[in-house]
Amino acid sequence: MTDAIRADDVRVVYPDGTRAVNGVDLRVPEGEFFGFLGPNGAGKTTTIRTLVTLLRPTDGSVTVNGYDVGDDPESVRRSVGYMAQETSIDEELTARENVEYMAAAYGIPKSERAERADELLNLADLLDVADKSAKTFSGGMKKRLDAVTALVHHPPVVFLDEPTTGLDPKARNRLWDYFREINREGTTVFLTTQYLEEADQLCDRISLIKDGEIALTGSPDELKNEVGGDILELEIAPSDVDVATRLAESGDVFHDAVVTETDTGISVGATTIRTHGADYFAELRDAGVAVDGFDVRSPTLDDVFLAVTGEGVEDDKEAASDTEVAA
Ligand SMILES: Nc1ncnc2c1ncn2[C@@H]1O[C@H](COP(=O)(O)OP(=O)(O)OP(=O)(O)O)[C@@H](O)[C@H]1O
The Cα 257–Cα 269 span in angstroms is 5
Considering the domain boundaries, does residue 319 fall inside one? no
Considering the domain boundaries, does residue 43 fall inside one? yes
| Nearest residue to 154 via CA among 114, 106, 202 | 106
What's the CA-to-centroid distance between 188 and ligand 1, angstroms? 25
Considering the domain boundaries, does residue 212 fall inside one? yes
First to last CA, the chain: 34
Is the separation of the CB atoms in 212 and 13 below 8 Å? no
Please give the C-alpha separations between residue 36 and each of 16, 210, 278, in angstroms, as whole numbers: 25, 11, 38
The Cα 108–Cα 215 span in angstroms is 41
Laid out side by side, the sheet with 33-37 consists of 80-83, 157-161, 188-192, 33-37, 205-210, 213-218
Is the separation of the CB atoms in 22 and 11 below 8 Å? yes
Ligand 1 pocket mutation pick from 44, 160, 194, 214 by most atoms within 8 angstroms of CB: 44
| Residue 322: pLDDT over 80 | no
What's the CA-to-centroid distance between 183 and ligand 1, angstroms? 28
Mean pLDDT of the chain: 90
> Would you say the CB of residue 22 lies under 6 angstroms from ligand 1?
no
| pLDDT band at 323; cut points 50, 70, 90 | very low
Least confident of 21-35, 168-182, 186-200, 209-223: 168-182
For 35-81, the pLDDT digits (tens) are 999 998 999 999 999 999 999 999 999 999 999 999 999 999 999 99
The enclosing domain of 102 has a CATH number of: 3.40.50.300
The Cα 215–Cα 305 span in angstroms is 10
> Would you say the CB of residue 286 lies under 6 angstroms from ligand 1?
no
Ligand 1 pocket mutation pick from 12, 14, 207, 213 by most atoms within 8 angstroms of CB: 14
Residues 194 and 242 in one domain: no
| Residue 163: pLDDT over 60 | yes
What's the CA-to-centroid distance between 149 and ligand 1, angstroms? 26
The Cα 242–Cα 260 span in angstroms is 11
For the residues 220-227, what does the mean pLDDT come to? 88
Determine the pLDDT at residue 1.
63
Is the separation of the CB atoms in 93 and 131 below 8 Å? no
| Residue 218: pLDDT over 90 | yes
Considering the domain boundaries, does residue 320 fall inside one? no
| Nearest residue to 8 via CA among 55, 48, 54, 63 | 63
> Would you say the CB of residue 208 lies under 6 angstroms from ligand 1?
no
Number of independent structural domains in the chain: 2
The enclosing domain of 291 has a CATH number of: 3.30.70
Q: Is the ipTM of this complex over 0.95?
A: yes
Determine the pLDDT at residue 25.
96
The Cα 36–Cα 55 span in angstroms is 18
For 133-145, the pLDDT digits (tens) are 999 999 889 989 9
Considering the domain boundaries, does residue 22 fall inside one? yes
Is the separation of the CB atoms in 145 and 126 below 8 Å? yes
What's the CA-to-centroid distance between 287 and ligand 1, angstroms? 46
For 287-309, the pLDDT digits (tens) are 999 999 999 999 999 888 888 88
Residue nearest to atom 23 of ligand 1 (CA): 41
Considering the domain boundaries, does residue 154 fall inside one? yes
What's the CA-to-centroid distance between 43 and ligand 1, angstroms? 6
> Would you say the CB of residue 20 lies under 6 angstroms from ligand 1?
yes
Is the separation of the CB atoms in 65 and 4 below 8 Å? yes
Q: Which atom of ligand 1 is nearest to the CA of 49?
A: 18
The boundaries of the domain holding residue 264 are 229-298
For the residues 312-321, what does the mean pLDDT come to? 37
| Residue 172: pLDDT over 90 | no
Q: Is 213 helix (H, G, I), strand (E, B) or coil?
A: strand
Considering the domain boundaries, does residue 278 fall inside one? yes
Residues 177 and 235 in one domain: no
| Residue 27: pLDDT over 70 | yes
Of 185, 219, 253, the last residue of a domain is 219
Residues 170 and 260 in one domain: no
pTM of structure:
0.84
Residues 255 and 211 in one domain: no
| Nearest residue to 28 via CA among 50, 59, 6 | 6
What's the CA-to-centroid distance between 317 and ligand 1, angstroms? 11
Considering the domain boundaries, does residue 323 fall inside one? no
Is the separation of the CB atoms in 33 and 189 below 8 Å? yes
Residues 213 and 257 in one domain: no
Residues 183 and 37 in one domain: yes
The Cα 149–Cα 95 span in angstroms is 9
Angle at 316 between CA 237 and CA 203, to 5 degrees: 90
